[in-house]
Structure 1
Amino acid sequence: MAFGDLVKRHLIDTRPLGVVAYRRIWLGQAVSHIGVGVTVVAVGQQVFEITQSSLHVGLLGLANLIPLIVFGLWGGAVADAVDRRKLLIVGSLIAWAATLFILVQSLLGLDNVYLIFLAVAINSTGFAITGPTRGAIIPRILEPELVPAANALNSLVFSLGAVVGPMVGAVLLGHGGFAGAYAVDAVLFAGSLYAALRLPSLPPLGEVSRPGARAVAEGLKFVVRSPVLLMSFVVDIIAMVFAMPRALFPEMTAERFGGSLDALGWMTAAMAIGSVAGALFSGWVGRVRRQGVALSVVIAVWGLAVAAAGLSHELWLVVLFMAIGGVADVISSVWRQSILQLYAPDEMRGRLQGAFMVVVAGGPRLGELRAGATATAFGMTGAWVGGGLACAVTVLVVGLSVAGFRNYRAR
């Protein structure tokens, strides 16, 4: 095989960008995710400066998690019953309002950690609505064979934002303070809102279930009765709860790198750097058939990479190992999302995307809480390294012990 053909087989598939509606969503996310990355690094640093506590930084995860669970499941049920374009616009406006709120508290110099928690919770509510809605929209505007490629492209823009955003955030914190960082996020979010406004009408298809507890329960039952879907959720929870070290970044920066904001920016962006590389060369991912075994293995690689980063005292090594973890994470996310989107009928996609988003977005928040709490008990290094090792061992034991998941082959 010629070198050019080999590269083409492994480079990311860009065919979904030929669909105008998807291209707008993709470009809107590419812009707005930079702002999100700016705010992620700014919020964690502001809370740490106010409290000098990694536990409080970890509590940001709890402020994110509760709205994600409540409104993620409810938002997914609503997405199966209403025009998904309108719902995406509503959720986007809620998230934008939260960004403006956190900007105002910074401009007023309130330095109140509880107001920051409130702003984060409101933003999480908006995300809990837009996440499952956007995920349910993708199979409606693309042919089925393009869905895995679209998920890889989504991972790419998310990861690029997570690389560029924290770097920009570190610069803004040094020159414009917290208010400057939040203002940039507020401006860039307009890209995502514009994309939602330009979507065509997307009314529900098939049988419509009234949004509520019964509709949510139907979606959860569907997952529980599908061993492959259920285990794809379980292994992701193991990865994020056991091994996500993000709440420990400010403390490691202070202990090992003299409190350098540049070091904080690099650490925050490291995982996303690997995700960008993994997404760019994801052409082979769709050709893997034994995805149950493959998911278990790549998540174990993620845990070991995190543990290695926690043992490193050179910044470049921390960045390298977290980037390796990012490669593993983006590969697993493409498989999990594609399985879910193509397995579910359209009238269930919103609810299943809601459950998926609760796991994907809620897991890291629980991981932040776990990291902050265990750091208080066992120290930063113990919490970081121990979590990574526990992830690697647990995911291999659990993932490979369930026959249906172990033997699962993608259609």
Structure 2
Amino acid sequence: MGFGDFVRRHAADTRPLGIPAYRRLWAGQGVSYIGFQLTSVAVSHQIYEITDSSFWVGMLGPANLIPLVVFGLWGGAVADAVDRRKLLLAGSVIAWSATLALVALAALGSTNVGLLLAVVAVHATGFAITGPTRNAIIPRLIPADLVPAANTLSYLVGGLGTVIGPLLGGVVLARGSAVTAYLIDAVLFGSGFYAAVRLPRLEPLGKTTRPGLRSVVEGLRYVAGHPIVLMSFVVDIIAMAFALPRALFPEIVDERFAGSPVAFGWLSASMAIGSVLGGLLSGWVGRVRRQGLALTYVIAAWGLSVAAAGLVGQLWLMVALLAFGGAADMISAVWRQTILQTHAPDDMRGRMQGVFMVVVAGGPRLGDLRAGATASWFGATGAWVGGGIACAVTVLAVGLAVPAFRKYRPVVRSL
């Protein structure tokens, strides 16, 4: 096989970028996500400096999780009943306002952790609205056969943001302050807002249901009635809640790398580095047929790579092992997202993305809480390694025990 053939078979499919509306949304998401990740690193660092405790860093988990559960489900229901462009703009304003509040608190030198967590919760509310809305918009902008490619590109640009944001955060925190980090986020956020403004009107198609508890329950019933969809959520929760070591980064850096902000930035970016590399070589992902079995194995690989990273002492090796896990996680995310977007009808798609948002964004918050709490009992290394091993064992037990999921093969349908 020549180099050209290798590239055609394995490189990312960029055809969705030929559609202007999607291209703007993709670029805006990528730039604004750099700022989002920069703020995530800065607020974790700020809380650890104030409290000197991984437990309080872990409390960022519930501060993000509760709004994501409530407003992710509600936002998805609203996205099925209103113009999705207007809803995306409204959620963006909420998140932007919270970033400006973080700027003000940092500039005033506030050490009130409760107030910081409250502002983070407001920011999570905006994210919970915009996330499912943006994902529900994608199938309205591009042809059905390009949905997997568009999902891969979205994860790829999100991964780039998750690499650049933490690395930039390490430099900014080493040379500047949290105020500078939050200001950069506020500026970069404008690119995503511009992309939302330029979208066409996206009124709901087909029958609409008034957003509320009833419509949310209908979405949850849809998930419960489709075992493949349900299992795709279950294995993701196992991956994040058991294995994610993010809340342990400040303590591990303090113990092993003399509290270096640059080392903190590299650890924070490590999984996203793998996600980017995996995305660049993702041409084969769409050709995998046994996706349920493949999901189970790649999530087990994620857990084992996390456990191995917790056992080594060299920064470069920790980053490399976490990057391998990040590549596995990105591949699993593409398969899970495509299942939802190609199986759910348009009038249910927003709610499915709401549930997806709760799981994808909420699972890591459970992981933060789990990591912070278990570190109090077993130490940072015990919490890190034990979580990775528990993830691998549990996902293999659950994923292989459900025949429908183990044997699942995708069926492409018209959107």
Helix, strand or coil for the counterpart of 1:189? helix
| Cα drift, residue 8 of structure 1 | 1.5
Q: Report 1:292-331 matches (<5 A).
A: 292-331=292-331
| Cα drift, residue 111 of structure 1 | 1.8
Q: Matched residues in 1 for 2:255 and 2:95: separation? A: 34
The alignment of Structure 1 onto Structure 2 pairs a total of residues equal to: 411
Q: Matched residues in 2 for 1:404 and 1:227: separation? A: 7
Counterpart of 1:157?
Answer: 157
Is the 2:174–2:262 contact (alpha carbons within 8 Å) kept by the matching residues of 1? Answer: no
Counterpart of 1:30?
Answer: 30
Gaps of 5+ in 2: none
Counterpart of 1:284?
Answer: 284
Output one character per residue of 1:206-259: Cα deviation in whole Å (capped at 9) or x when no partner. 100010000000000000010000000000000000000000000000001110
Counterpart of 1:130?
Answer: 130
Output one character per residue of 1:312-355: Cα deviation in whole Å (capped at 9) or x when no partner. 11101110100000010000000000010010000000001000
| Cα drift, residue 2 of structure 1 | 2.4
| Cα drift, residue 37 of structure 1 | 1.5
Helix, strand or coil for the counterpart of 2:313? coil
Structure 2 residue identity aligned to 1:280? L
Counterpart of 1:228?
Answer: 228
| Cα drift, residue 371 of structure 1 | 0.2
Output one character per residue of 1:343-393: Cα deviation in whole Å (capped at 9) or x when no partner. 000000000100011000000000000000000011111100000000001
Helix, strand or coil for the counterpart of 2:282? coil
| Cα drift, residue 36 of structure 1 | 1.1
Structure 2 residue identity aligned to 1:38? L
Q: Report 1:71-90 matches (<5 A).
A: 71-90=71-90
Counterpart of 1:248?
Answer: 248
TM-score norm. by structure 2 comes to 0.98
Identity %: 66
Q: Matched residues in 2 for 1:247 and 1:214: separation? A: 36
Q: Matched residues in 2 for 1:96 and 1:68: separation? A: 16
Q: Does 1:259 align with 2:264?
A: no
Q: Report 1:3-402 matches (<5 A).
A: 3-402=3-402
Q: Matched residues in 1 for 2:98 and 2:283: separation? A: 37
Counterpart of 1:405?
Answer: 405
Structure 2 residue identity aligned to 1:206? G
Q: Matched residues in 1 for 2:132 and 2:7: separation? A: 33
Is the 2:302–2:328 contact (alpha carbons within 8 Å) kept by the matching residues of 1? Answer: yes
Gaps of 5+ in 1: none
Structure 1 residue identity aligned to 2:353? Q
| Cα drift, residue 3 of structure 1 | 2.4
Is the 2:64–2:120 contact (alpha carbons within 8 Å) kept by the matching residues of 1? Answer: yes
Q: Matched residues in 2 for 1:116 and 1:321: separation? A: 32
Q: Matched residues in 1 for 2:75 and 2:134: separation? A: 11
After superposing on structure 2, the runs of 4+ consecutive aligned residues of structure 1 that deviate more than 6 Å are: none
Structure 1 residue identity aligned to 2:351? R
TM-score norm. by structure 1 comes to 0.99
Is the 2:41–2:169 contact (alpha carbons within 8 Å) kept by the matching residues of 1? Answer: yes
